[in-house]
Homo-oligomer: A and B are copies of this chain.
């Protein structure tokens, strides 16, 4: 099966000399054999620092090195005249330096020195792939890892994927779905030889393999009658199981655990708390330097909509802040970026700013579950940058990324020839990796990088494509659920509108719209008190209906339709305006696309054109259903007299 070269298709380099040894240097040598060469007067050398004395370039390169060192993943790129050197302390830094060179070489001019170090030590992609080859919330075909109950035989595509990930700085992968069913539980037993094969491919690109594990594995594998984390037999069971796993994959990164979450088993079944559960696994992993990524997506998924005292947004904080300090050192609490669930707009989870003694990971969703499912174009770079650069204290520092031990992105790839179903959705994987490395990167510049590496096109066409894509997240936000209220999606699939689809559900996902107003009162004064989970000045800013940002107003407040926003419009008119605008923007995107479409290869052209057709239909449905719904509720027509169906 053939597949897109993605953004590693057309790059060219001059001759390169390598002064390095080790496995990753071997990988780089292999890379160089695949890279097209161009005649060039620049002499390029890739060196690890221990080898610098062997090259004549050492003195001026030494000057380029930062005083505080490069760290295991950092690198320096420096040029003087026709000499260009990429130097790193070891193989991983050199690998990232190589991909840096590949990405930017054609744009490099004059003498310069660049030092790069990743902002976050662990930059992970999490797959929700199942052993049967399906992908939960996957919109790009089946799994590239698994098929028919086992790891695929031919790992060619996995190797190509590992390259893609390494090229944007990803250094960790979780290969299986956090909902670990009976079959996947056996990844840590029967399938260990296959897991070993998979890990070997990722290892070539400096990527540590991680496994999602089932907290009830001792029961599911039929060996014990309990999974109680304080039971000696359970402790011994995990110790032995981990030992077997590390026999197969000596450098496994660790485990990811979704426990007591959406009907998955966990320590609560035994009257234990989550630190008991996490530490059980942490102690089994510690001898091997493995880490437990313990997900904080714990909430009551059998809520009664009649019960206004329970607020799902509070759940992660309420469950985990009291446990801060009780976790072993090799536990990382993995926290979804927002308090709910990957909606197109949410505030940053207060738990990300509140943990003092426990390392945290921020979890983003690259797969577009709630953001158009790779039918709709929705470039998420700007959104992720906002989240990663969010000032968690409201007073300047630290940001989410500065506090994070890891960034985790739920993968959007599958065995579709173009990897991501919608060709342009490749840009989300690209931007995710680049932002995890550098959260301050400009999302529009990242689009330029991605487009230049992906398509052979002139600068004007690229600029046009980037402009079509750049604001697509906000366009998507405009035609979907308004002002951070969330959901309003088709139950189950989560694609397309259903304003009341989750309004009376068990999932804690409500908008409370009636004939007078809409929104969720999460204030301390009259609501669920969620705002108090933030430090000041954030708490007060959200609490006050006049200072709460317009785009989050309905997440924090229940307001009448005639409430006037900071932008001067009423809530109702803003709903109408944004929904007309969102649809119009999709039409405009399509018109701009059509003007450049014939500059793309046929497969790309047809893929993108067909997806835009779907998006336009979806945007129209959202626009009309939302507008009609609120017109029926409010009885108030659009001030501009546009068509709202009865």
Tell me the A residues contacting B by CB distance below 8 Å: 305-306, 308, 491, 497-501, 504, 512-516, 621, 624-625, 628-629, 631-635, 645-646
Within 8 Å CB of A305, what residues of B?
Answer: 645
- Give the CA-CA distance A587 to B639 in the complex, in Å: 49
Within 8 Å CB of A625, what residues of B?
Answer: 504
Q: Measured between C-beta atoms, what is the minimum distance from A515 to chain B in Å?
A: 4
Check B633–A633 contact: CB distance below 8 A. Answer: yes
Check A633–B514 contact: CB distance below 8 A. Answer: yes
Specify which of B308, B504, B515, B621 is in contact with A515 (CB 8 Å cutoff): B515
Specify which of B500, B645, B646 is in contact with A500 (CB 8 Å cutoff): B500
Q: A500-B499, A500-B500 given as contacts; is B632 within 8 A of A513 (CB)? A: yes
Within 8 Å CB of A645, what residues of B?
Answer: 305-306
Within 8 Å CB of A629, what residues of B?
Answer: 500
Known: A504-B628, A516-B635, A633-B633. 5 other contacts (CB 8 A): A306-B624, A308-B646, A499-B500, A514-B632, A514-B633
Nearest residue, chain B, Cβ from A516: B635
Report the copy number of this chain in the oligomer.
2
- Give the CA-CA distance A632 to B512 in the complex, in Å: 9
Nearest residue, chain B, Cβ from A645: B306
Q: Measured between C-beta atoms, what is the minimum distance from A260 to chain B in Å?
A: 24
Within 8 Å CB of A515, what residues of B?
Answer: 515, 632-635
Within 8 Å CB of A500, what residues of B?
Answer: 498-500, 629
Check B512–A646 contact: CB distance below 8 A. Answer: yes
- Give the CA-CA distance A427 to B410 in the complex, in Å: 52
Top 6 A-B pairs ranked by shortest CB distance?
A514-B632, A306-B645, A500-B500, A515-B515, A504-B625, A515-B635
Within 8 Å CB of A514, what residues of B?
Answer: 631-633, 635, 646
Nearest residue, chain B, Cβ from A636: B515
Nearest residue, chain B, Cβ from A490: B491
Nearest residue, chain B, Cβ from A624: B306
Within 8 Å CB of A635, what residues of B?
Answer: 514-516
- Give the CA-CA distance A499 to B624 in the complex, in Å: 18
Q: Measured between C-beta atoms, what is the minimum distance from A429 to chain B in Å?
A: 32
Q: Measured between C-beta atoms, what is the minimum distance from A513 to chain B in Å?
A: 7
Within 8 Å CB of A501, what residues of B?
Answer: 498
Within 8 Å CB of A499, what residues of B?
Answer: 500
Within 8 Å CB of A634, what residues of B?
Answer: 515
- Give the CA-CA distance A335 to B514 in the complex, in Å: 40
Q: Can you give 8 contacting A-B residue pairs, CB < 8 Å?
A: A305-B645, A306-B624, A500-B500, A504-B621, A512-B646, A515-B515, A515-B632, A515-B635
- Give the CA-CA distance A306 to B500 in the complex, in Å: 18
Q: A306-B624, A646-B308 given as contacts; is B497 within 8 A of A504 (CB)? A: yes
- Give the CA-CA distance A516 to B497 in the complex, in Å: 24
Within 8 Å CB of A632, what residues of B?
Answer: 513-515, 633
- Give the CA-CA distance A497 to B500 in the complex, in Å: 12
Nearest residue, chain B, Cβ from A621: B504
- Give the CA-CA distance A635 to B560 in the complex, in Å: 13
Q: Measured between C-beta atoms, what is the minimum distance from A379 to chain B in Å?
A: 28
Nearest residue, chain B, Cβ from A634: B515
- Give the CA-CA distance A498 to B308 in the complex, in Å: 20
Q: Measured between C-beta atoms, what is the minimum distance from A492 to chain B in Å?
A: 8
Q: Measured between C-beta atoms, what is the minimum distance from A526 to chain B in Å?
A: 13
- Give the CA-CA distance A501 to B631 in the complex, in Å: 18
- Give the CA-CA distance A128 to B621 in the complex, in Å: 33
Q: Measured between C-beta atoms, what is the minimum distance from A439 to chain B in Å?
A: 40
Q: Measured between C-beta atoms, what is the minimum distance from A632 to chain B in Å?
A: 4
Nearest residue, chain B, Cβ from A512: B646
Q: Measured between C-beta atoms, what is the minimum distance from A325 to chain B in Å?
A: 39
- Give the CA-CA distance A504 to B504 in the complex, in Å: 17
Q: Measured between C-beta atoms, what is the minimum distance from A551 to chain B in Å?
A: 25
Q: Measured between C-beta atoms, what is the minimum distance from A572 to chain B in Å?
A: 13
